[in-house]
Structure 1
Amino acid sequence: MNTIKIKLQEVYFPFLIVGIATIIFYNVFRWTFDIKLGILPLKEDLLNFWIPFTLPWIPILIWLRRRIRILNIRGKRDNGYFGYQFAMAAAIAVPIIISQNYIEKSSFDLIKIQKVEEIQKFRNEKYFDIYSFEVDRKASLSYSTSRTSGRYNNDLNFYRYFASPFKYSNSIWYGIEFKKNLSNRVSDAIKNLEYRKFIINSKRDFNIYDFNNVTYFEKLGNSDKRDGFMEAVQRGFTEINEKEEVILIPRTDNFNNRLGNSFCWIFCSFGIGAIILLFMVLIPKIDQHELNDFKKNKPLKDDDLKYFLDFLNPFGLNKATAILLLFNIFVFVVMIFYGLNIVSPTPLELLEIGGNRRLEVLNGEYWRLLTSMFIHSGVLHLLMNLIGLALGSSLLEEVLGTARLIIIYIICGLLASLASIFWHQNTISVGASGAIFGLYGLILAFTVFKIYPNYMRGMTWMFLGLYAGVSLLFGFFGGIDNAAHFGGLISGFVIGGILILINKEQLKKTW
């Protein structure tokens, strides 16, 4: 009985307190600064999913990570504890995500108005029932784009946005969206054929669309969908103030049923997670040694988080690696605040913020060769490159030193960008992979010419095969800029060969 009391008191009840506090905190924060004041410059997918998905990890790592070690979890020690952290994060994240749908919809009433132009009186409202309106179909503007989605970007999604102006009103648009999904693994010829079909079919469907088939209208907030409609509007009106434009999309459901059972599921989802965690906490025995250390406030002996933070310390042992990793992360965060989709920005969005393409570079925008190295087309793209960068850079920093590693990284990235625009005529290229392949080119040179000691060469061949070899192989199936990869790999190998010719013995002495 005393054992159960310790588990509940030291692990389970703190989880409940942290979980409930985190859920309440984020909902109050979201409602105050986004819905009430409208001052958060973040898109709805970030506020509704990505922040709720990642936020629970902060209090878990700060307050619960140490407490979990009290439990004597069988199996691999670190994997077991991470599983508990993941279960806690999921138990908190799911109700937060569900609650965003509830507070976003429940915070607004249905405003009944006679004419469309009356919407300007209700700047902070979201739902409207308009008694009488007319739409000018002939003055409609459209914009088409595509995004990838799914695991490994397996899906290709076409979107077409039609923005139709309401008659007798300024800056208010009726928005209609069409979309189509297909596999991203099909050939470029099939993609082009399906895209042309989509454009023709969406235009046909728009021409017969019934604008009066609407129960109420929803005013779009800061989202990718609104950006799509604004791109359409800006095709015809380049001087408009984007913030003053209102995009209304039609809804055909019953307004009173919009919330469904979301309120109930906020509590049910947390309750289910709490019950699962209760069993997870009660089943294992107590690690008495860890419990004693915890009561004495001793730090963890094997603390993976501390090792990770030390690895990212730009003043620590891996200065160059940390600087390159942090800078890539910083640029991605800036991209998010700039308004880009966290999963799959469109090619046009990537080009606007510094993506690499032949036409722009040849017209004098040479800076794109550099900026494109630090821009990523989604969080998965970023994570994959961060892993490759961390592995490759850590194998080279002791040999090259901080300054020389960063300089070589940038040189290889520039040469990879040049290779990309030389090979591709109209491809928008972004990402650190060209520069990373440059690092692996150096690793290849140092392995072939035996700069690394014998005990390390097996490991370097493994890294080359797992990262460089697999990446190049997938590049042949499309969706990956292999020209930049080969350009970086070759340039890195050549630079490595030059360094070996100049100072082979000194390089070997670093080991």
Structure 2
Amino acid sequence: MVSLGTVISYCFFRWVFDIKLGLLPLKKDILDLWMPIILPWISVLIWLRKRIRLLRIRGKGGDGYFGYQFAMVAAIAAPLVVSQEYVDKISYDLIEVNSVSDISKIKGGKYFKVNSFDVEDNASLFHVTVRTTGKYNGTLNFNLFYATPLRGSTSVWHCVEYKRTINNNLSKQRKNLEYSNFLDRSSKEFNTYNFYAVTYFEKLAISKERDGFVNAVEKEYPGVNANNQIFLAPKIVAFKNKNYNSLRNTVVTFLIGALIILIMIILPKIDKNELNRFKRNKPLKDDDFKDFLEFLNPIGAYKGGAVLIFLNIIVFLVMIFIGLDFVSPTTKELLDIGGNRRQEILNGEYWRLLSSNFIHIGVFHLFQNLLGLVFSIVFLENLIGYMKFILVYIVCGIFASLASIYWHEDVVSVGASGAIFGLFGVMLAFAVFKIFSDYMRKFVGIFLGLVIGLSLLFGMVKSVDNAAHIGGLISGFVIGAIFVFANKEQLRIKEKKEF
């Protein structure tokens, strides 16, 4: 019921607020993929978390229960992702128009068959984007967008996109060569492109693809209203507005997931003690989710950490709502929103030294840095106090930004890692000057050795700003040493009480 309710609820929500009312200014990949992946976690944690504990599942430290939660999330997410294609297909019909000027008069349409149109192929505009994706930014993606005006309208464009993907670990010379070859080959293909080999057009929704064509137009017409522009992608296949294959796939995916979960539920025995607690509506003995929520409480035990976590998440959500890509925003987008670069700082935009510490290159970059921040919160905040914790984050983040622009001439630096390395530097100082107990010193030493070592290693071959990391680490160590010499005994007393 939870799975079915989640699928139906989101599809209805999407149909009403996105398709019919147009009130969700989010990119298509977020609505089609990321929201269907995230929402099932909410459903499982709210409605199924306690029920999973009724099963006697083997596993160390609750790993078995987490595995069940993950399986249930997957069983809900799979049909939810597949269903989005069906929702899209049944929501739009193919609209036949006589000319492109008629498209501007129709609101809510997505697919159009234009009986007669002409292109101004000598007025084509283009834009190129370069994005890194994949694990450790190991993939480099080239996209070339051609927007060609259609006669009879000042706001309707014929769109053609070319793509190329290469390994980002290639040498700079090789990547430049691949980039040049991509542009040359795409340009030659476009020069012989047949604009009239089209069955129907799809009006592009908010997406990375549409952004590329918008940028192509804005370069030539800086004052143009992007919201009023219509970008049409040509389709050469027959139109099927009632795609029953996607409905069938949704049902089959749902049934397969339900069968797997049913088997997983039948196999283990029932934990009678947990069943009695559940019937009496008592809370779980070990509830990791509740502990996590307490950890995020801005008036709880970790006030400073909660504030910093929420600030980073809020900034990321703002980035998404203003149109930046969920996974891999471009360098220009990051710079426009507040990224750190030497040229802008020397021109007086000093605020970037701070703002860049709350901006991230996609959701995975954010998640990675939040993990480091959580570790720092647990082992540091209650020793120095939440106000000092926040202050250390800010000060070390600024020093990390200064180190980055000192070392890099033309690199856009973003992310909380410089500030987090500052917090690591304070922890390192506490280990060196024996604020931590022997056990904690070993534990912190191993952890920091791994993190710092891996960071330096990846910085040699990946897109990691080691200058910011080192700048943050050194400034944090200095601040930590100041804390030690100013209040060594009190820090040791707090450490014994905390750990």
TM-score by length of 1: 0.94
2:381 to 397, 408, 419: 397
- Answer yes or no: is 1:492 the counterpart of 2:492: no
Q: Does structure 2 conserve the Cα–Cα contact (< 8 Å) formed by 1:43 and 1:224?
A: yes
- Answer yes or no: is 1:420 the counterpart of 2:404: yes
- Answer yes or no: is 1:54 the counterpart of 2:54: no
Q: Does structure 1 conserve the Cα–Cα contact (< 8 Å) formed by 2:89 and 2:241?
A: no
2:457 corresponds in structure 1 to: 473
Q: Which runs of 4+ in 1 moved over 4 A?
A: none
Q: Does structure 2 conserve the Cα–Cα contact (< 8 Å) formed by 1:311 and 1:322?
A: yes
Superposed counterparts of 1:63-462, under 5 Å = 63-76=47-60, 78-256=62-240, 259=243, 261-462=245-446
1:40 corresponds in structure 2 to: 24
2: CA distance between counterparts of 1:188 and 1:413? 29
Q: CA deviation at 1:248?
A: 0.3
Structure 1 stretches lacking a partner, 5+ long: 1-16
- Read off the aligned partner of 1:18 and give its amino acid letter: V
The CA deviation string for residues 392-437 of structure 1, in whole angstroms up to 9 with x for no partner, is: 2321112211111111111100010011111111111100000011
SS in 2 for 1:447: helix
Q: Does structure 2 conserve the Cα–Cα contact (< 8 Å) formed by 1:440 and 1:468?
A: no
2: CA distance between counterparts of 1:87 and 1:205? 46
1:5 corresponds in structure 2 to: none
2: CA distance between counterparts of 1:256 and 1:453? 68
1: CA distance between counterparts of 2:229 and 2:419? 41
Q: Does structure 1 conserve the Cα–Cα contact (< 8 Å) formed by 2:90 and 2:241?
A: no
Q: CA deviation at 1:223?
A: 0.8
1: CA distance between counterparts of 2:318 and 2:450? 31
2: CA distance between counterparts of 1:21 and 1:260? 21
Q: CA deviation at 1:173?
A: 0.4
Shift of the 70–353 alpha-carbon distance from structure 1 to 2, 3 Å rule, reads same
Q: CA deviation at 1:199?
A: 1.9
1: CA distance between counterparts of 2:242 and 2:12? 21
Q: Does structure 2 conserve the Cα–Cα contact (< 8 Å) formed by 1:446 and 1:496?
A: yes
Structure 2 stretches lacking a partner, 5+ long: none
Q: CA deviation at 1:490?
A: 1.2
What number of residue pairs does the alignment pair up?
495
2: CA distance between counterparts of 1:97 and 1:486? 41
- Read off the aligned partner of 1:371 and give its amino acid letter: S
Superposed counterparts of 1:18-33, under 5 Å = 18-33=2-17
The CA deviation string for residues 144-195 of structure 1, in whole angstroms up to 9 with x for no partner, is: 1111222232211011111110122110001111111011122222222222
The CA deviation string for residues 212-270 of structure 1, in whole angstroms up to 9 with x for no partner, is: 12111100011111011000000111111111100001111111288361110111100
The CA deviation string for residues 27-61 of structure 1, in whole angstroms up to 9 with x for no partner, is: 11100111111111111111101111111111211
1: CA distance between counterparts of 2:322 and 2:44? 29
2: CA distance between counterparts of 1:417 and 1:193? 32
Q: CA deviation at 1:452?
A: 1.2
- Read off the aligned partner of 2:119 and give its amino acid letter: V
SS in 2 for 1:157: strand
- Read off the aligned partner of 1:465 and give its amino acid letter: G
Q: CA deviation at 1:499?
A: 2.6
| Identical positions, percent | 55
2: CA distance between counterparts of 1:213 and 1:149? 33
SS in 1 for 2:240: helix
Q: Does structure 2 conserve the Cα–Cα contact (< 8 Å) formed by 1:388 and 1:467?
A: no
SS in 2 for 1:180: strand
2: CA distance between counterparts of 1:492 and 1:20? 50
1: CA distance between counterparts of 2:176 and 2:390? 40
2: CA distance between counterparts of 1:71 and 1:509? 43
SS in 2 for 1:344: coil
SS in 2 for 1:98: helix
Q: Does structure 2 conserve the Cα–Cα contact (< 8 Å) formed by 1:117 and 1:169?
A: yes
Q: Does structure 2 conserve the Cα–Cα contact (< 8 Å) formed by 1:87 and 1:277?
A: yes
Q: Does structure 2 conserve the Cα–Cα contact (< 8 Å) formed by 1:351 and 1:428?
A: yes
Q: Supply the RMSD in Å over aligned alpha carbons.
A: 1.4
Q: CA deviation at 1:443?
A: 1.3
Q: Does structure 1 conserve the Cα–Cα contact (< 8 Å) formed by 2:2 and 2:43?
A: yes
1: CA distance between counterparts of 2:64 and 2:490? 44
2: CA distance between counterparts of 1:75 and 1:495? 42
SS in 2 for 1:177: strand
Q: Does structure 1 conserve the Cα–Cα contact (< 8 Å) formed by 2:393 and 2:420?
A: yes
Shift of the 386–313 alpha-carbon distance from structure 1 to 2, 3 Å rule, reads same
Q: CA deviation at 1:454?
A: 1.3
Q: Does structure 2 conserve the Cα–Cα contact (< 8 Å) formed by 1:357 and 1:428?
A: yes
- Read off the aligned partner of 1:68 and give its amino acid letter: I
